[in-house]
């Protein structure tokens, strides 16, 4: 389940994907009835929100991994023996 979501997040986070989603939403909203157009715009907003959340989670995980590496590198090794 995560693989398609990550693929969509990667696609929609780049300019061509974002513009494709925005164009599709505007075309559907222009040619559809008012109620259907509202639903389409709402779904597009939800999709973009999901993309932002997934990208943020990936950025946070990468930052946490880097901070863990820095902490390990700066921590002096233990020189005493534990009993």
Distances (CA, A) of 50 to 42, 53, 70, 72: 12, 5, 30, 33
The whole domain housing 6 covers 2-71
79 inside domain: no
User: Token digits for 62?
Assistant: 């990468």
pTM: 0.45
Q: What is the pLDDT of residue 81?
A: 66
81 lies in some domain: no
Domains: count for the chain: 1
Q: What is the pLDDT of residue 35?
A: 74
Compute the mean pLDDT over every residue in the chain, rounded to the nearest whole number. Answer: 76
In a domain, 80, yes or no: no
């Amino acid at each position: 389940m995560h693989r398609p979501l990550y693929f969509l997040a990667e696609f929609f986070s780049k300019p061509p994907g974002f513009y494709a989603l925005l164009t599709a939403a505007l075309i559907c909203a222009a040619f559809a009835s008012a109620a259907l157009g509202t639903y389409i715009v709402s779904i597009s907003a939800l999709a973009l929100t999901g993309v932002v959340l997934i990208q943020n989670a990936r950025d946070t995980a990468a930052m946490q991994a880097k901070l863990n590496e820095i902490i390990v590198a700066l921590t002096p090794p233990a020189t005493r023996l534990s009993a």
